[in-house]
Chains A and B, each alone.
Chain A
C-alpha cells in the first residue's frame, strides 16, 4: 500500500493501462504538453509520445466523436472533457453514436470508450464550470456512468472503465484531486455496480456518491456524536449500473432513507433512486424518503450565495432528522 492523492491514483491508472495495452490512447484539450489543468495527465506524453497522448484543438464534438470512431475500430480511447459542463458540446456523439452504435448495428461493434469529465461545484467557478450532469447520462441506455471519490476507487474503477467494452462516462470530482488515501501497489480493479458501505448504522440509510459521500460521512459522524443517531452511509461509486441490492438491504435494516446528490434537485439522480426504491420496497419505508441536492438555480459566483446552493453537511443532517421526524 502507498498513500496517494486522487490525482496520482488516476495518473497511475492511465499510465499502467497504457503500458499494459498499446491500444489505449488519451486525447483532449491540454492533456499532453500541460498534463491537463489539474495535473492529472502529467508525464504521459513523455512516456507514450504524441501518437497516443494527443493535445486536441478546442473541438469537443469532433474529438469525442473521434474517440467513438477509434473505439469502434480497435482502440480504447480515453477522452477528456476539461470541465464536465462542456460535455454538452459532445452530447450528440456520446448519446446518439457511442451509446447507440452497438444496438443499432445489431451488436456488430464494441465502443470501449472512456469519457473522463471533472464535475462538481465549489470555489466560485460559477454557472459554466460547476455543474453535475450524471443524471443526463443515467437516462441513456448503452452508457455506463461512474463517480468514484476515493483514490482507491478512482484508480480501480478507471482500470475497469478502460477495460470495459462499453462507453463509460467517468465523473471525477474536480475538488477531490488532493484527497489522499491508501492505494495498493499491485494491480487491482474495482467492479462497476457495487456500492461501498462507508459506515454501518441502523437508524437511517444515507445514499450518496462522489463528494456527497464524504459530506454524508461527516454528517453521520457528527449526528452520532451529538445525538447518538446511527446512520448507514452508502457510497454508490457506480450510478449505471447501480447497486440497488445494497441500497435495499440497508433500507430493510433502517426503514428510513436520505438520498444525496450534488446536482440541483429537479430531475436528478436522487429522484430516480427514490422512485426505484418505492417500486422495489415501498413497504420497507417507515417515513417518506428525503432528497438532498443543490437548489434549482444556476451556480452563482458569489461565495455566500454559492454556499447556499451547494448541498452541505448541515443539510444532510437536517434531512436525516426529517427522515426520523415521526419516530
Chain B
C-alpha cells in the first residue's frame, strides 16, 4: 500500500491531525453533520445485515468509512444544488437530505421507494433534493455532472454541482473528457475523488503510476487539492472554498479526499484478496469515531448529548426498516411499462 496517508507519517503512527474547530460552522450545524454521519453508518450497517438475511438483494455497496466525505462536502452546498453519485450512493443520498424511509423502501423494492422499486441500491436517486442518481457504470456520472453544471450556466440559476467519484472512476475516458470540458468552460462544478485506494480488488498503485490524483488538476489548468478523507471538517473547508470559486464563476476544482476503504467492496465481500491486518490501524481514523472524540475533547458536547444523537440515528434506521417491511406495497405488474417514456406514454 503506497501513500495511504495525506501527510508524512511523523513516527507515532498518528498521521492525522485531530479535528479542529471549524471557523464557520456553529455547534448546531456540527451536530447536524454528526447526525448525518451516524445515519449513514447505521443505515449501511443495517443494509449489510438485511442483505445477509436475504431481506434485500442485488448489489449493495456500503458507505461506511467514507461518511466524512459526503457529509463534509454536502454541508458546503445549498439545498437546491446538485450532486452526482457512484455505485456507492447511500451516503451521498443521505448527506443531501433524503428521507431514509424512502431509501429503505427502495432497497426493499417497494413502490413507495424513491425509485418505485425499479432502481434499488445501485440507482438510488432523490432528484427533488438535487441528488441526480447513483449509477452502476463506473465513471458514467461524470458527464451527468458536466450537464447539470452546463444547465446551471445556461439557465443562470447559480446552482453548483458536486461530482463524487472513486479512484477507479478516474481511469475512465469520460473522467478526462468531463474535467477538460468543465475547465475549458469554467463551469460551476466541484469534482470530489473519494480515493479509498481500491477498486474492488485492484489497488490504485497497480493501475496508475501517479497516485497523487489531485496532481492531475495541473493538466486541466484548475486547482487540485488533497484532503484527509477521514476528516469531515477538512473536506468541508476544501469543498466550501471550491464552491465559492465555482459560484464566483471561476470554474471547477479537483479535490482528492484520500482515505482507505475499511470494509469490503460490497456488503458481502469477505476481502480474501486483501491483507486486513494492514487495514486494521486505519480504524483509528474512523470518521464517526473521530468526530465523536472531537466533541468530547473540545468539551462541545457531553457524552449524554452525543449518545442522544446516535440513538436518534439508530431509531430512524430501525423505523425505516419497519416502514419498508410492513407499511409499503409491492409494485404491481402493471407498473412494468410505467415511466419508460414521459407522460404515461407506452410503446410496446
A56 and B155 form a contact (CB under 8 A): no
Residues of chain A within 8 A of B178, CB atoms compared: 62, 65-66
B137 and A108 form a contact (CB under 8 A): no
Residues of chain B within 8 A of A77, CB atoms compared: 147
B116 and A106 form a contact (CB under 8 A): yes
Known: A51-B153, A73-B82, A104-B118. A62 touches B340 (CB 8 A): no
B45 at the interface (CB under 8 A from A): no
B181 and A69 form a contact (CB under 8 A): no
Interface centre among A51, A59, A96 (most CB of B within 10 A): A59
B147 and A68 form a contact (CB under 8 A): yes
Contact indicator per residue, chain A 66-88, by CB within 8 Å of chain B (1) or not (0) = 11111111110100000000000
Residues of chain B within 8 A of A96, CB atoms compared: 135, 137, 140
Residues of chain B within 8 A of A102, CB atoms compared: 339-342
B128 and A67 form a contact (CB under 8 A): no
B150 at the interface (CB under 8 A from A): yes
Residues of chain A within 8 A of B142, CB atoms compared: 62, 65
- The 10 A-B residue pairs whose C-beta atoms are closest, nearest first, are A69-B147, A65-B143, A62-B177, A106-B116, A165-B342, A107-B339, A59-B177, A69-B144, A106-B115, A70-B147
Report B88 CB to chain A, min CB distance, Å: 16
B206 at the interface (CB under 8 A from A): no
Give the bracket for the number of chain A residues in contact with chain B.
35 or more
A106 and B343 form a contact (CB under 8 A): no
Report B241 CB to chain A, min CB distance, Å: 24
Partner of B148, one of A23, A70, A164, A165: A70
A73 and B177 form a contact (CB under 8 A): no
B127 at the interface (CB under 8 A from A): yes
A107 and B338 form a contact (CB under 8 A): yes
A69 vs B142: C-alpha distance in the bound complex, in angstroms?
A: 9
> What would 15 more interface pairs be, CB under 8 Å, given A107-B116, A109-B125, A109-B127?
A25-B154, A54-B185, A69-B150, A73-B159, A93-B140, A96-B140, A105-B123, A106-B113, A106-B115, A106-B117, A106-B125, A106-B339, A108-B128, A141-B340, A165-B342
Name A residues whose Cβ lies closer than 8 Å to a Cβ of B.
23, 25, 51-52, 54, 56-57, 59, 61-75, 77, 92-93, 96-97, 101-110, 112, 141-142, 144, 164-166, 240-241
Name B residues whose Cβ lies closer than 8 Å to a Cβ of A.
82, 84, 113-119, 123, 125, 127-128, 132-133, 135, 137, 140, 142-155, 157, 159, 173-174, 177-178, 180-181, 184-185, 338-343, 345, 347
Interface centre among A59, A69, A77, A107 (most CB of B within 10 A): A69
**Chain B residue at minimal CB-CB distance from A102:** B339
Partner of B140, one of A54, A63, A65: A65
B341 and A62 form a contact (CB under 8 A): no
B144 and A75 form a contact (CB under 8 A): no
Residues of chain A within 8 A of B185, CB atoms compared: 54
A240 and B132 form a contact (CB under 8 A): no
A103 and B118 form a contact (CB under 8 A): yes
**Chain A residue at minimal CB-CB distance from B115:** A106
A62 vs B153: C-alpha distance in the bound complex, in angstroms?
A: 17
Report A32 CB to chain B, min CB distance, Å: 12
A59 and B154 form a contact (CB under 8 A): no
A23 and B154 form a contact (CB under 8 A): yes
A59 vs B177: C-alpha distance in the bound complex, in angstroms?
A: 6
A102 vs B144: C-alpha distance in the bound complex, in angstroms?
A: 14
Residues of chain B within 8 A of A165, CB atoms compared: 342-343
Residues of chain B within 8 A of A72, CB atoms compared: 127, 132, 144, 147-148
B147 and A104 form a contact (CB under 8 A): no
Interface centre among B114, B123, B149, B154 (most CB of A within 10 A): B154
Partner of A240, one of B113, B140, B338, B347: B347
Partner of A57, one of B125, B151, B173, B180: B180
Partner of B154, one of A61, A75, A141: A75
Interface centre among A56, A64, A70, A106 (most CB of B within 10 A): A106
A75 and B133 form a contact (CB under 8 A): no
A68 vs B146: C-alpha distance in the bound complex, in angstroms?
A: 9
**Chain A residue at minimal CB-CB distance from B346:** A241
A74 vs B161: C-alpha distance in the bound complex, in angstroms?
A: 14
B146 and A73 form a contact (CB under 8 A): no
Partner of B177, one of A57, A107, A166: A57
Partner of A97, one of B135, B181, B341, B345: B135
Interface centre among A62, A66, A141 (most CB of B within 10 A): A66
Residues of chain B within 8 A of A106, CB atoms compared: 113-119, 125, 339
A23 vs B150: C-alpha distance in the bound complex, in angstroms?
A: 11
Known: A106-B339, A107-B339. A57 touches B144 (CB 8 A): no
Known: A25-B154, A69-B151, A166-B342. A105 touches B125 (CB 8 A): yes
A57 vs B147: C-alpha distance in the bound complex, in angstroms?
A: 15
A68 vs B151: C-alpha distance in the bound complex, in angstroms?
A: 10
B115 and A104 form a contact (CB under 8 A): yes
Residues of chain B within 8 A of A52, CB atoms compared: 154
A92 vs B341: C-alpha distance in the bound complex, in angstroms?
A: 19
Residues of chain A within 8 A of B128, CB atoms compared: 108
A105 and B343 form a contact (CB under 8 A): no
Report B214 CB to chain A, min CB distance, Å: 21
B340 and A103 form a contact (CB under 8 A): yes
